[in-house]
Amino acid sequence: MSSHRKPRTRILTSPGSRRTAAGLTTAALASVTLLSQSAEAAPRQPAPTIEEVKQKVDDLYRQAEVATQKYNGAKEQADQQRGTVDRLLDESARRTQKMNDARRELGVYASAQYRTGGLSPTAQLLLARNPQQFADRSHLMDRLTGRQQQAVADYQEQQAAAGRQRAEASRSLERLTETQASLKESKKDVQDKLAEARQLLSRLTAQEKARLAELERKKEAEAKRKAEELARKQAEKERKERADRDRHDGPGPGTGSGSPDGGSGGGQADGGTYSGKAAKALAFARAQMGKPYVWGATGPNSYDCSGLTQAAWKAAGVSLPRTTWDQVKAGDRVATKDLKPGDLVFFYDDISHVGMYIGDGKMIHAPKPGASVRVESIYYMPIYGSVRPA
């Protein structure tokens, strides 16, 4: 009896089938290997050099200073606008009081006329929804006495003035709100830049931090060399000028012999006026040495760069604006070779930093977050220009 079972399919019975399967297996393994190699061969971002890290950190600090100046400007503007709003609100309150006084005076007339019988034109004016429109009716004004007409005119004037004051105060409040929004945005920008800089520095190894410190020392040494060269040139220039004066004036009493304060390049062309003010400003700045840089700070416990220069010159009786962008306009421009103690030196193309020249190619300044007010070469940063503020 024949079997009805379906014969089983025999797998890989022939040599050809076995060769095909082996080929497929080899191809699959090759594909996996190639994918693995491709993944391993994918380009990786090389780790930044310490020079690149330093450049990035310096750029972030400078960007933070730009944002700080925006913050300082917005804060100064907000303070001014807040003062304007307060003044306008006070004036509006006084106007409203005067309007109420004028209204009470009209009420006195209205009461007197009502007692004599009938609702007088004055009372109608007082009770009207639109007194201005009512008062424009000249035939009614003709029925009022001269004193009553003056009372009506005073009321109308005070009412209009109070309305103008309220409208102006409202506009000022809107501007203040916009400035405060800008202030908040600048503050966040500063905080973000400084946080990024701190994060970069925190990733450095001890060896990388040592390398970074070495780069800073080299930069400071080069800046110091340039400052010494400037000091030498300024001293030579002063000697020549003194010799020229001596030859011109001749020996004898009353002959000029240098600057009043004895300092290098110190204000002889100004008859001592500038050098005297500069001495006061520099004395103040020196007294702040060691105090920390804090962005947006104006003293007395900490400063940012323009906060220090503003406070120093204020101590000498000279009022400077708050930001570097405005301070650079607050005086006469001076060439680097002609700098005198007290002059303001500005840095970078965006004018984001300022220091106060002390002579010999050096300045006092509030450098950056994490540093304190100190003396440094003016060549530590690229110079934009200089200003003599008084």
Q: Cite the active site residues.
A: 305, 353, 365
User: How far is the C-alpha of 125 from the C-alpha of 115, rounded, in Å?
Assistant: 17
Contact 346, 332 (CB under 8 A): no
User: How far is the C-alpha of 327 from the C-alpha of 319, rounded, in Å?
Assistant: 10
Contact 357, 378 (CB under 8 A): yes
CB neighbours of residue 87 within 10 Å = 13
Contact 15, 22 (CB under 8 A): no
Within its chain, how far is the Cα of 60 from the centroid? 15
SS (H, E, C) 175-203: HHHHHHHHHHHHHHHHHHHHHHHHHHHHC
Contact 201, 57 (CB under 8 A): yes
User: How far is the C-alpha of 286 from the C-alpha of 291, rounded, in Å?
Assistant: 10
The DSSP H or E segment spanning 359 is strand 353-359
Burial 109-125 (b: 16+ CB within 10 A, else e): bbeebeeeeeebbbbeb
Of 307, 308, 267, 305, the closest CA to residue 286 belongs to 308
**What value, to the nearest 5°, has the Cα angle with vertex 353 and ends 351 and 359?**
110
Which pair of tokens denotes residue 278? 């500069």
* Beta strand 362-365 pairing with 353-359: antiparallel
* Beta strand 362-365 pairing with 344-347: unpaired
Beta bridge partners of residue 344, listed in sequence order: 356, 387
Which pair of tokens denotes residue 343? 């002059």
